[in-house]
Copies of this chain bind each other. A is one copy, B any other.
Amino acid sequence: MNAKRTLAVMTGGGDAPGLNAVIRTIVKQGVTQLGWRVIGLEDSFDGLLETPLRIIDFDRDQVRGILTMGGTILGTTNHGDPFSFRESDGSVSDRSVEVAERLKLLGVEGLIAIGGDGSMGICSRLMKERGVPVIGVPKTIDNDIPGTEITFGFDTAAAFATEAVDRLHSTAESHERVMVLEVMGRDAGHLALASGLGGGADVILIPEIPFRWDAVLGKLMRRRAFKRHFSIVVVAEGAKPEGGSVTEHMNADGRKSHGGIGFLVADEIARRTGLETRCTVLGHLQRGGTPTPRDRVLASRMGHHAVELARRGEWGRMVAMRANRMDSVELSWLLTQTARQLSLDDDAISTARALGIVFGDEAQ
């Protein structure tokens, strides 16, 4: 080991395009500009807890060409949270002390963790309970992390989902058909709204607005009456019919789960209107791919701000975009929050309504 200041960096949770751009910025600024040492932990905390260690002692050549790459060169965990680590034999143990000790052994001054709310929670505990200084960089396709206006990966996912709506448009218009597209968004409808508005959907169903079947079906029948022989319905995976949970619906039908709300919506539309209906689930396609230029810039700015926080010793914070500027919030505050949902008075929602798009809460 040497006397250089040393940072560790890891990525946790599902992929979001832009992860590598964050890593690249941390390494380039850390190693090249500041002369620090930057250690990458492989597969989240997994590599740190193995013997021999699986870590990368970064030099700048190791981040060449990764700006445009989806995924993460560091990999992500298979064993999960070090506080309840799934051992290979299936048992669960608390390895968090080891995490702290091994980071100390490596001379790590602090850890930059790029991850979702799960990772942020773990890191906050590591700091509070095990004394590991951490800085968080928010990552989520769903764009629902509180405290930040936007997260990288969202623009790429929204662009792909919109392209999917475009594709369905061009083929739906030739037929009499309802096309249902299920996109990500368990707790928030950011992605469904962006792709539905950007792609010109007719109906958008989001977790923030429980929908009524009559409002949805009414829109489809009105379109038919006006000789619009096709319709596009974008559904967030967390959308729910008013009053009832999706799971109940699905159990009632006795159907198994290769498909969630999207198939349910498609089946119900077909059953009640007699219209030919198709469902497509974008699934993991939304997590992959080259980050859009905007996501590369955003991810780079977040990586840079994380290094700046480390440099100033402002540990225990998560990088955040606020009023289009890089800023940060307390990790401890973050953990008191629920998912950042769409505000119902968001002007994008009123724009959608102005365009005649139905959310399922309309009076009939």
Contact = CB atoms under 8 A, between A and B. Distances in A.
A272 interface: no
A256 interface: yes
Interface stretch (A96-104, A117-125, A193-201, A213-221): A193-201
A175 interface: yes
A173 interface: yes
Given A158-B294, A294-B159, A307-B354, A170 B289 contact: yes
Size category of the A interface is 35 or more
B280 A284 contact: yes
> How many subunits of this chain does the assembly comprise?
4
Given A307-B354, A350-B304, A71 B170 contact: yes
A174 B75 contact: yes
A181 to B, nearest CB: 9
A312 interface: no
30 contacts: A11-B174, A25-B355, A28-B356, A67-B200, A68-B166, A69-B170, A71-B171, A72-B174, A75-B229, A155-B294, A158-B294, A160-B167, A166-B288, A166-B289, A168-B284, A171-B288, A195-B293, A197-B300, A198-B294, A198-B296, A198-B300, A258-B258, A258-B259, A278-B283, A292-B292, A300-B355, A303-B351, A305-B347, A307-B354, A323-B324
A223 to B, nearest CB: 12
A281 interface: yes
**Residue from the set A71, A172, A176 with the largest chain B CB neighbour count within 10 Å:** A71
A155 to B, nearest CB: 6
A33 interface: yes
Nearest to A301: B351
A171 B287 contact: yes
A24 B200 CA distance: 11
A133 B230 CA distance: 33
Interface in A134-188: 149, 155, 158-160, 162-164, 166-176, 179
